[in-house]
Structure 1
């Protein structure tokens, strides 16, 4: 990978890592569902030129849009709002990788090597270690919300593999179109005080949902889509594991998060397991054997 493309991967990681900061601030300002709805209204305005029908694939597209926009993002931001620190949430979101591998083996009949089984086991062991960190333990509901978000994303990932690739911006447009009104309705049902929040709002406070829409969805996903068009998934995906690390650093810098040793050890174990799931370890091992 060229230096320029490595720099782009770093930008994507920073964009996604800082999205956890914007999300935390935004959910505290607006409430989780209302914040997520505003985020998607901004994204919809940006993505309107790509909001075009996908003949023959609208039904699965709408299902994926609902899973990602309404289920995944609402659960993630609810968990982020409830979490005691950024690191535990950011690391737990990465569980979508082993969840996707498990679902692919079950529903797509993909090969499931012993190495991948061990890697998935390692990833979940790391989450268990994280759960025993005192700060995380007092906010276990946050971890459960984020695990649910990761599972929803894994289901959507499997569904997306069953219809043609229609481009990241078109997908983002439909996610925003479904999520924005749906989440606003859910916010009106389960939350309160939205009108008062808007009445007291200072324009500068809109930076958090605006950043989340542009920084994470447009910039972050746009860069990753660009890189995936030029390099194999097994090369690009491991580079993205820097995002939760950067999110943890941003959390310490912005909120003064305390990072205990259990969180460090558990996070390292989880990210190691996810790295092993992401890369084609079997092919790498076979190459090493042939060279030896």
Structure 2
């Protein structure tokens, strides 16, 4: 992976890391399913009148919208509402990298090299170190975010299988799918009066949270992410999101004053070292990176 693509991946990781704190702020104003529905309504409108419909089979647009919009963000938002802190949610959510690699090996026949397995194991140890259950979380909340991570893994495979080349158009048009199911769930759980109350009492923090979730996180972030998935193998791209919890914890520390303990610092170091091994091998040298260049060659 070249320096340009790597820089894009790091930028997206930073935006997605901050995203977890923004979600928590947004949940102070909206029901989780209503917040997610508003996100995708604004992702789709008015942009479907500007970007052409992606030249892929409709089943990929439909399945990606359902898996990403309804399952991934439904599980994630409810998990954060149920008590998982923004910093820990950003860590647990990165299990998607392991789901993506496993699903890629099963359904796409992607080859996983030993150095990648070693790096992922080390990074996984870092995630376990950081996300060890404590008083700030509970089992149900963690389980919900793990389900969100698995849904993201499935969504990544759908992107690869779709063959889409216009990633922004694919993101915009697939955003048409989630709003109705999400609104139906919100209405079914809370009733029309609760939904209308949330909509009538939107404050600046709620509106700002929705706008951040729409533009930097979804339209820009997922378009770049899908572009990288199309260009590189899943086993090379997916582990880059292990940088997300680092930005997630830093933003949570700044916004919510979440403590940075020694255990979390050790976990961060393990994640970074695991990522470096996954990307560049043993040790971190150009020769090693060059030796695995077929993995990084654009398709």
Question: What is the aligned-residue RMSD (CA, Å)?
Answer: 3.6
Counterpart CA distance in 1 for 2:182 and 2:268 is 31
Q: Which residue of 1 aligns with 2:115?
A: 115
Counterpart CA distance in 2 for 1:56 and 1:171 is 9
- Equivalenced residues, count: 288
TM-score when scaled to structure 1? 0.81
Deviation at 1:56, TM superposition (A): 5.8
Q: Which residue of 1 aligns with 2:173?
A: 174
Counterpart CA distance in 2 for 1:29 and 1:85 is 17
Q: Which residue of 2 aligns with 1:31?
A: 31
Matches within 5 A, 1:68-217: 68-136=68-136, 138-192=137-191, 193-202=194-203, 205-217=206-218
Counterpart CA distance in 1 for 2:289 and 2:45 is 53
Question: Which has more helix, going by share of residues?
Answer: 1
Counterpart CA distance in 2 for 1:212 and 1:246 is 16
TM-score when scaled to structure 2? 0.79
Shift of the 143–8 alpha-carbon distance from structure 1 to 2, 3 Å rule, reads same
Q: Which residue of 1 aligns with 2:295?
A: none
Paired residues of 1:30 and 1:197 also in contact (CA < 8 A): yes
Shift of the 133–261 alpha-carbon distance from structure 1 to 2, 3 Å rule, reads farther
Shift of the 50–61 alpha-carbon distance from structure 1 to 2, 3 Å rule, reads farther
Deviation at 1:272, TM superposition (A): 4.2
- The secondary structure found in structure 2 opposite 1:30 is coil
Q: Which moved more, 1:81-90 or 1:174-183?
A: 81-90
Shift of the 167–290 alpha-carbon distance from structure 1 to 2, 3 Å rule, reads closer
Paired residues of 1:64 and 1:160 also in contact (CA < 8 A): yes
Shift of the 211–286 alpha-carbon distance from structure 1 to 2, 3 Å rule, reads closer
- The secondary structure found in structure 2 opposite 1:29 is coil
Q: Which residue of 1 aligns with 2:21?
A: 21
- The secondary structure found in structure 1 opposite 2:176 is helix
Paired residues of 2:280 and 2:289 also in contact (CA < 8 A): no
Question: Which ranges in structure 1 are unaligned for 5 or more consecutive residues?
Answer: none
Deviation at 1:51, TM superposition (A): 6.0
Shift of the 164–132 alpha-carbon distance from structure 1 to 2, 3 Å rule, reads closer
Counterpart CA distance in 2 for 1:5 and 1:289 is 15
Deviation at 1:30, TM superposition (A): 0.3
Q: Which moved more, 1:208-217 or 1:243-252?
A: 243-252
- The secondary structure found in structure 1 opposite 2:28 is helix
Paired residues of 1:38 and 1:180 also in contact (CA < 8 A): yes
- The secondary structure found in structure 2 opposite 1:162 is helix
Counterpart CA distance in 2 for 1:181 and 1:173 is 15
Counterpart CA distance in 1 for 2:55 and 2:221 is 27
